[in-house]
Structure 1
């Protein structure tokens, strides 16, 4: 798996632990890339990058990123790839 998939799995497990089933369903729908509009893609990037900034050092180690790499990616504007 690549790092992005691992981040999605981590975020999904956190949503389930919190019990936000409604929000988790919407998050899963935002991850369906084939039907995303430009705005949906921007929305997805914004939220996944914010979530990347919130990962613990252990979670970052699991996905193979350093804190600096996560910070660099997480602080990118949503319109940049």
Structure 2
């Protein structure tokens, strides 16, 4: 190929990449502060529930006692 064709292919390749990036960015949902807060609450709820289900060996692995796990696991999701 001659030099001009190579330049056109490179430019067209860049256009295609730009189109893909734009389509991905447009398809992302908008995350509002309320949505992120709900996500944080759900994360707290799920991890605290899982913490209550851990056995003694698993608790030892993460370095907490059964009492510490119970105290944390029974907190309401809106509390830190």
Q: TM-score range by the shorter chain?
A: 0.5 to 0.7
Correspondence for 1:58:
57
Aligned pair count reads 47
Correspondence for 2:8:
none
Q: Secondary structure at the match of 1:51?
A: helix
Gapped regions of structure 2 (runs ≥ 5): 1-31
Corresponding position: 1:43 with 2:26: no
Q: Secondary structure at the match of 1:37?
A: helix
Q: How does 1:1-81 map to 2 (within 5 A)?
A: 37-81=36-80
Partner Cα separation in structure 2 for residue 61 and residue 40 of structure 1: 28
Task: With the length of structure 1 as denominator, give the TM-score of the two structures.
Answer: 0.56
Query: Which has the greater radius of gyration?
Result: 2
Gapped regions of structure 1 (runs ≥ 5): 1-34
What do you get for the CA RMSD once the two structures are aligned?
1.5
Task: With the length of structure 2 as denominator, give the TM-score of the two structures.
Answer: 0.56
Q: Secondary structure at the match of 1:48?
A: helix
Structure 1: 4+ residue segments shifted above 2 A: none
